Amino acid sequence: MEPTNVRLGFTGGHDREPGSWAKFVEGLGADLLAVGEAPTVFEDPYVHLALAAQQTSRLRLGTMVTMPGLRHPAVLACTMSTLQRRSGGRAYLGIGKGDFALVELGLEPVRLAELEEYALAVRALCRGEEVDYDGARFAIRWSAGPVPIWLGADGPRTLQLAGRIADGVIVANGADPGIVRHVVRNLEAGAGAVGRSAAELEVWYELRLDVGDPDATGINRDGLDEYGARHANYLLRTAVVPGKGTVAEQLRHKKGIDVSEDVAERLRLYRAEFSTRDAYTRGAKTNVELLDRYGLREFIGRLFYVAGSREDVLRRLRGLIDAGARNFCVPLMAADPARAATIAAELFAEARTQPAGPAPDPTTTASTS
């Protein structure tokens, strides 16, 4: 059997020394190392990326993701051009609307038009071009060459924007084949509208892997249960607008997720009772208990995690590959990120040659209470 062209990246391991950590994951065969930008949560990503560039020769290096409002486009373009030069052309820039980092600062995520204007300005500046931005015209007087711009996207409008203007896409959740097909459809629509091919874009899916005893992995692991509960709320906050259609219709259209009306109603009730106050309180299980009250733990677990036995994880991974996903970035959430990265690298080596089995459907796991 011919190997499948699948690439693996990592984000996480923020507590490790950046240079030696990057060298370690490159040695595992990883293709990409991403660093998040959220000033209230992570250390400065560009310092980490610069240190990583010094000790690696092959890894792609960039953000997953930054956003308008944190840095002037000239400042960001200068930083990324410097990284591009010092890394030998391995830098990329992931940009999103700020649904996490800006919200953490008490700010609203930017509108799509602002994201487009900002991303295009940074890309042009990295190329050495002049731009008009915020009433001024300016340029950076040197260039290390183009820096690819990847948009963080999972809704139709942002995916179609990426298809029109971006060099790549970062999808925050790639654990469901339905999401992969939704991404492909919308990228094709956006790219086709301007005479491009969606095949021109690099598409990276974040994939939360957790291998082990199914009763103690993914949504059933302490800490990851709270993380899953927060992401369930995020999914509903970014997908569902009251009065714009049913919950099921909006999840299908905006995220590519098919749910029954019964599950949709339980999700609506969960969102209505979600405790923002307890969401980031370490050890608080208020929202986890709410998932259990509405019979949503397994559904949310399968939607956000690829977890369980090695065989189950491999089967689901092959299902994602068969749906069209090729590039996966694994957030390292375990207490031992080096071990988690090693296991992920082993799994991907197997998945590239193992035939697919039937992919479990996460939308059917919460059809009954």
Least confident span in 2-11, 84-93, 271-280: 2-11
Same domain? 179 vs 299: no
Within-domain flag for 68: yes
Same domain? 317 vs 251: no
Same domain? 276 vs 358: no
Domain boundary (269, 304, 339) is at: 304
Same domain? 204 vs 235: no
Domain count, the chain: 2
Question: Model pTM?
Answer: 0.93
pLDDT of residue 155: 95
Residue among 219, 305, 28, 82 nearest 10 (CA): 28
Does residue 44 surpass a pLDDT of 60?
Answer: yes
327 forms beta bridges with 7, 204
Query: What confidence category does residue 354 fall into, taking pLDDT thresholds of 50, 70 and 90?
Result: low
Same domain? 37 vs 154: yes
Domain containing 153 — which CATH number? 3.20.20.30
Give dist(CA 98, CA 172) in Å, integer. 12
How many CB atoms within 10 Å of residue 281? 11
Same domain? 185 vs 276: no
pLDDT of residue 3: 53
Within-domain flag for 328: yes
Residue-wise burial string across 86-117, b where 16 or more C-beta atoms lie within 10 A, e elsewhere: ebeebbbbbbbbbbbbbeeeeeebbebeebbb
Within-domain flag for 255: yes
Domain boundary (304, 322, 342) is at: 304
Question: Do residues 363 and 225 lie in contact, with contact meaning Cβ atoms separated by under 8 Å?
Answer: no
Q: In this predicted model, what pLDDT tens digit does every residue of 289-303 receive, in sequence order?
A: 999 999 999 999 999
Same domain? 188 vs 68: yes
SS3 per-residue string spanning 169-200 = EEECCCCCHHHHHHHHHHHHHHHHHCCCCHHH
Within-domain flag for 85: yes
Same domain? 115 vs 86: yes
Within-domain flag for 191: yes
Same domain? 114 vs 201: yes
Give dist(CA 149, CA 284) in Å, integer. 38
Give dist(CA 290, CA 271) in Å, integer. 10
Same domain? 41 vs 179: yes
Question: Do residues 188 and 134 lie in contact, with contact meaning Cβ atoms separated by under 8 Å?
Answer: no
Structural domain boundaries enclosing 297: 222-304
204 forms beta bridges with 170, 327
Q: State the DSSP string of 114-166.
A: HHHHHHHHHHHHHTT--EEETTEEE--S-------EEEE--SHHHHHHHHHH-
Same domain? 346 vs 212: yes
Within-domain flag for 2: no
Least confident span in 72-86, 116-130, 271-285: 271-285
Same domain? 122 vs 22: yes
